[in-house]
């Protein structure tokens, strides 16, 4: 199974493709899609849509694993994040991908063993689990890889 993990963001969206089953997996590739903060928000959404569409076309994943919404102190940030998630969900539906959504705490619990883990801890565990030479940069890419691994672990339990 090939899983595309997404850590959504309106300025930086992390993505990571992981292949495998259960607890046996390997990184295929990862990265981030960046949109200039000064762009109109609708243009940033289009940048994210086009960037993820390109990743789907290049790597042909079976599943899109997406970080679910979370509580944000700033309502405006939460709304923008929800709009980015919506664009990605529509794209996945258009491409016929299976969609899985996971809460940030569950992703961290699955990868690190602690639901309140810091970004550095997630990055270090991704490096170890995927046998990478370095912690994936930016941290959004590490979070996306963690989201993909989370799906691989939980899909075998279904």
9-64 pLDDT, tens digit per residue, is 999 999 999 999 867 899 999 999 999 999 999 999 999 999 999 999 999 999 99
Q: How far apart are CA 122 and CA 61, in angstroms?
A: 23
CA dist., res. 40 & res. 52, Å (int) = 19
**Per-residue pLDDT tens for 79-92?**
999 999 999 999 99
Q: Please list the residues that pair with 99 across neighbouring strands.
A: 64
Tokens of 2: 């090939």
Query: Which positions are annotated as active-site residues?
Result: 7, 67, 140
Query: DSSP label at 27?
Result: E
Give the C-alpha separation, 28 to 59, whole Å.
8
Examine the pLDDT at 115 and tell me if it is beyond 70. Answer: yes
pTM of the model: 0.95
Helix ranges (DSSP H) in the chain: 41-59, 75-94, 104-111, 119-129, 139-155
> What's the Rg (C-alpha) of the chain?
14
Confidence of residue 157 (pLDDT cuts 50, 70, 90): low
- Which option is the CATH number for 2-155: 3.40.50.300, 3.30.70.1450, 1.25.40.80, 3.30.420.10? 3.30.420.10
């Amino acid at each position: 199974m090939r899983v595309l993990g997404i850590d959504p963001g309106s300025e930086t969206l992390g993505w990571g493709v992981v292949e495998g089953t259960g607890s046996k997996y390997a990184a295929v590739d990862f990265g981030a899609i960046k949109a200039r903060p000064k762009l109109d928000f609708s243009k940033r959404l289009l940048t994210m849509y086009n960037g993820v569409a390109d990743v789907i076309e290049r790597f042909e994943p079976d599943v899109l694993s997406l970080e679910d919404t979370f509580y944000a102190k700033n309502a405006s940030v939460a709304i923008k994040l929800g709009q980015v998630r919506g664009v990605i969900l529509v794209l996945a539906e258009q491409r016929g991908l299976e969609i899985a959504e996971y809460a940030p705490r569950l992703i961290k619990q699955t990868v690190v063993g602690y639901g309140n883990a810091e970004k550095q801890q997630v990055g270090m565990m991704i490096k170890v689990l995927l046998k990478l030479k370095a912690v994936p940069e930016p941290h959004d890419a590490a979070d996306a890889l963690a989201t993909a691994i989370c799906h691989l672990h939980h899909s075998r339990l279904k």
